[in-house]
Amino acid sequence: MKNLELWKKVDETPIEYTKKVTSRGGFTAINATFQIKQATELWGPYGSNWGVKKLDWEYLQDNGKIVEVCLNAIFYYPNGEFEISSCMVYKAGDDHRKKLLTDLTTKSLSKLGFAADVFMGLYDDNKYIDELKKKQVANNTPYKTDAEFAVIIEWVKKAPLETNARIGVTLEKAKLTDAQKKQLEALRIVTGAPEPTKPV
């Protein structure tokens, strides 16, 4: 559907840009800078065709002391704009303005479909995570950073032996560092996966 074109472009969140948080009952946190990068790729630099405007800071008091601070603003993007707000407990020196602006921006992007898989609870489903890891391998993602590569290493360790040969072939085509190639070679020995043949 045309109305979901943007949503489908940004609803899937790479595992390496998420983090499990144990506080507040546990949840999956999303790297805010990654979301901003996604929006920049689609619409240009922050503040040009998209961003936050008309910021209104509200400080709520109890017996003369500030206890909560809220940010009310307008989020705008190429196809429209909408009102949005975010609040947090006030603590002096806690850089609350920066945190609230970041939170409000990511919340705004989520309403357009950014990281929808996290907000829809799909990251609580192990099967979804496994499929996402397989898709990253199949798409020949260049795992340049240790964090990105570690995600695949962990999956390869748990993968059935009969699939490790295909995984090895795919990873050989990825842009790995020399250290990562050595790690992959050592992993093949442990898992029993054969040396990859010519990439297919």
Spans of all domains in the chain: 2-119, 125-191
Question: What's the DSSP call for residue 49?
Answer: S
What pLDDT shows up at residue 171? 55
Give the Cα separation of 42 and 6 in Å (integer): 9
CA–chain centroid gap for 192, Å, is: 32
- Residue 154 CB neighbour total at 10 angstroms: 12
> Predicted confidence band at 16 (pLDDT cuts at 50, 70, 90)?
confident
Range in 45-54, 61-70, 95-104, 182-191 the model is least confident about: 182-191
What pLDDT shows up at residue 146? 62
Q: Are 52 and 101 in contact (CB under 8 A)?
A: yes
This prediction's pTM? 0.67
Convert the pLDDT of each residue in 98-155 to its tens digit. 999 999 999 999 999 999 999 999 988 888 888 887 776 666 555 556 666 666 666 6
Selection from 158, 128, 171 nearest residue 18 by Cα: 128
Selection from 165, 172, 170 nearest residue 191 by Cα: 165
* Superfamily name and number for 2-119: DNA repair protein Rad52/59/22 (3.30.390.80)
